[in-house]
């Protein structure tokens, strides 16, 4: 079972920042998960919420700020004074950093509330530019984004995100030409889902698994990967 640091190492570091991704790598995670939105001037940036208020010292919509304006904000102090001065990364910064490691990279396109123009194209071109198409999985709760991703790139891995009991999701995923299932963790405990996905040869990756007992369960029940805010803890448990 693979371990993805969710938003980096969001339990210990400010989510979706370089220092959080670095911590996930240091902890021995196999991959990182990060959330992508677009700035006003169309730059893919790494931040979970459509609004700045929760995780920065800014307010309002990400989409209304230029990349330069977003870069002025503090994305660490909300978490702890220790991280004051931490900035919102661009996707490009993460991809440049990823040149120096072998982590898997799950890019979650946040296209559910804001329909960012050409976000799929912009993200894929950057991933191609840095030669990372083989290490990237693109996921979204908006499955139209996955269809668009597949239209643009025939082989890059994609995965449907879903949170409830979608019926036979491995069949549905094929209708949007996705390669994997990223589900809310309770779904990854359904035997019928585990069996069906296994028979279809489709990986199940569960978010967000922070409880030790759940980590242990998923390490043996056939789940392919977990996303966790606590990669160090998950790695320690996996080592036994």
| Measured distance CA(184)–CA(193) in Å, rounded | 12
By the rule CB under 6 A, 108 interacts with ligand G3P: yes
Catalytic one of 13, 48, 143, 182: 48
**C-alpha 57: how far from chain center:** 23
Strand 44-46 to 31-38 pairing? antiparallel
Q: Shortest distance, CB of residue 66 to ligand G3P, whole angstroms?
A: 24
Alpha-carbon radius of gyration of the chain: 17
Work out the end-to-end distance of the chain between its first and last CA atoms, rounded to an integer number of angstroms. Answer: 13
Of 15, 108, 148, 232, which one interacts with Mg ion (CB under 5 A)? 108
60: left (phi over 0), alpha (psi -120 to 50) or beta: left
* Residue nearer to ligand G3P on the CB measure, 90 or 210: 210
Q: Shortest distance, CB of residue 122 to Mg ion, whole angstroms?
A: 18
* 47, 34 contact by CB (below 8 A): no
* 224, 1 contact by CB (below 8 A): yes
Is 184 a catalytic site residue?
A: no
Question: What are the C-alpha distances in Å from 119 to residues 62, 82, 143, 219?
Answer: 14, 33, 13, 34
* Residue nearer to ligand G3P on the CB measure, 41 or 53: 53
Of 21, 116, 207, 218, which one interacts with ligand G3P (CB under 6 A)? 207
By the rule CB under 6 A, 33 interacts with ligand G3P: yes
Is 153 a catalytic site residue?
A: no
Site string for Mg ion, 22-51 (x = CB under 5 A): -------------x----------------
By the rule CB under 6 A, 116 interacts with ligand G3P: no
Residue ranges in contact with ligand G3P by CB under 6 A: 6, 33, 35, 48, 108, 139, 161, 182, 207-208, 227
**Residues annotated as catalytic (active site), given as ranges:** 6, 48
Residue ranges in contact with Mg ion by CB under 5 A: 35, 108
């Amino acid at each position: 079972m693979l371990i993805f640091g969710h938003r980096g190492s969001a339990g210990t570091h400010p989510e979706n920042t370089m220092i959080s991704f670095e911590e996930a790598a240091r902890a021995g995670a196999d991959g990182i998960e990060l959330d992508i939105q677009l700035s006003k001037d169309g730059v893919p940036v790494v931040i979970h919420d459509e609004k700045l208020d929760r995780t920065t010292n800014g307010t309002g919509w990400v989409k209304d700020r230029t990349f330069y304006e977003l870069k002025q904000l503090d994305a660490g102090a909300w978490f702890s004074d220790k991280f004051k001065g931490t900035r919102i990364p661009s996707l490009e910064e993460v991809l440049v950093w990823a040149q120096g490691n072998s982590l898997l990279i799950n890019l979650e396109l946040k296209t559910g509330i804001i329909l960012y123009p050409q976000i799929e194209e912009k993200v894929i071109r950057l991933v191609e530019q840095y030669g990372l198409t083989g290490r990237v999985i693109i996921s979204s709760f908006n499955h139209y984004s996955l269809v668009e991703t597949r239209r643009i790139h025939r082989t890059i891995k994609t995965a449907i995100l879903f949170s409830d009991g979608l019926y036979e999701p491995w069949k549905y995923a094929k209708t949007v030409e996705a390669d994997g299932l990223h589900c809310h963790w309770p779904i990854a405990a359904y035997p019928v889902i585990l069996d069906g996905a296994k028979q279809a040869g489709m990986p199940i990756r569960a978010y967000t698994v922070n409880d030790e007992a759940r980590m242990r369960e998923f390490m043996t029940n056939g789940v392919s990967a977990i996303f966790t805010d606590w990669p160090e803890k998950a790695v320690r448990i996996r080592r036994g």
